[in-house]
Structure 1
Amino acid sequence: MRRFLIVLFFPVFLAACGAESVWAPDELVARNVYRHPGPTTLTLITMKNTGSGNGAHTGLMINASQRVLWDPAGTFAHSSIPERNDVIFGVTPRIEQFYLSYHSRETYYTVQQTVEVSPDVAEMALRAVMAYGAVPKANCTRSTAEILRGLPGFEGFSVSFFPNNLHDQFAEIPGVVTIEYRETDADDKDIAAAEIDAAIRAGQ
């Protein structure tokens, strides 16, 4: 009976581990390519509970030959913002602000940790996130840690499912710059998404 149950539930387990593939068309991606002025950087983004401080989500912004946001298993999306398997393209300061605002509310705040890296390392990170593929739910930190530990200077990072673990490892990098972002909106991402949609439609 036990073997039968394992076989019975195995397909369900595989389905739960899957991730939806998203692939924006070439024209939309090309039209939105953006490189932020200044040095090449990696920015770890951690969403934390305002009460407990526990981490809830992990993202990675990469400023290389273009600036993208790696948002593994994330829910930030808009029809005008190109995405390919958790990689968001065209991350202008406006889109970056939308992303931070979407994740920051009365119950959660956002921490950005930025470190300057060589152009080669930034480009390696860009290629890594573009090749990684769609990430299953609850694997945002694990996938990000795997990408980071494949880069020169980050080989000592351990892989964890816990956002605070990766946040604390990133904090040990010499020269890291940390910024907290907070908002007092209601605890409802749908409200934030609707406000972002309205701002995009209004051209703000």
Structure 2
Amino acid sequence: ALAACANDTGIDNTPAEVAAAAYVAPGPKSISLITVVNNRSGSGGHSALVINGSQQVIFDPAGSFRDPRVIERGDVLYGMSPKWISAYKSAHARSTYHIVTQQIPVTEAQAEQALNLAMANGAVSGAFCSNATSSLLSKVSGFEQIKTTFFPVALQQQFATLPGVTTTKYYEDDEGGITDGVQAAMLTQ
């Protein structure tokens, strides 16, 4: 069973809502691969990208992170401030899954290319999260060595070979699912 690669049930917000939600993160541009990993088997449950370009978004293909305050269009979550990124990780982490975040600094051009590819991608079918994420990455200048895969951990292993990657892991010990995590995050936003 996949942790988060569900059939998309998101509602596309309007272009005006997307523009109004833009969040510009301070600091250098980066791309971060988020992998949801099963604590028991080590297999992957979901792949997503945090793209910090002219705005910071999460490309959440076939994802199930939903909150009425999150603006979404075509599996891209807009307005992704550090609090929302923390909420996203918390919603996916639980006693059975942890989160691996691999961040790599990129140029402004690479960040914009990734951002544009994510925004143009459109909604992704269930169970295609890693396929869509790896396909997008392979089209970004400097990431051409990424091979398309259906397996989150295989993508994580490929991403780890890129120069300059820093890796962090996030654990929680609750029993809830993504919906429970989003509801808990709603209380803190």
Query: 1:154: which partner in 2?
Result: 143
**Residue type of the partner of 2:80?**
V
CA gap 1:187/1:51 in 2 versus in 1, 3 angstroms: farther
**Residue type of the partner of 1:98?**
A
Using structure 2 for the length normalisation, give the TM-score: 0.92
By relative contact order (CA 8 Å, sep 6+), the higher-ranking structure is 2
C-alpha contact (below 8 Å) 2:53/2:111 kept by paired residues: yes
CA gap 1:78/1:20 in 2 versus in 1, 3 angstroms: closer
> Which of 125, 135, 156 is 1:136 aligned to?
125
Aligned counterparts of 1:156 and 1:167: Cα–Cα separation in 2: 13
| Runs of 4+ displaced beyond 6 Å | none
- How many residues align structurally? 183
Aligned counterparts of 1:189 and 1:63: Cα–Cα separation in 2: 24
Matched, 1:36 2:25: yes
> Which of 66, 69, 79 is 1:77 aligned to?
66
CA gap 1:186/1:20 in 2 versus in 1, 3 angstroms: closer
- Note the C-alpha offset of 1:52: 1.4
Using structure 1 for the length normalisation, give the TM-score: 0.85
Aligned counterparts of 1:54 and 1:97: Cα–Cα separation in 2: 22
Matched, 1:93 2:95: no
Query: 1:49: which partner in 2?
Result: 38
Query: 1:180: which partner in 2?
Result: 169
**Residue type of the partner of 1:52?**
S
**Residue type of the partner of 2:19?**
A
> Which of 96, 99, 102 is 1:107 aligned to?
96
C-alpha contact (below 8 Å) 1:22/1:86 kept by paired residues: no
Gaps of 5+ in 2: 1-6
Matched, 1:117 2:106: yes
C-alpha contact (below 8 Å) 1:103/1:109 kept by paired residues: yes
**Residue type of the partner of 2:92?**
H
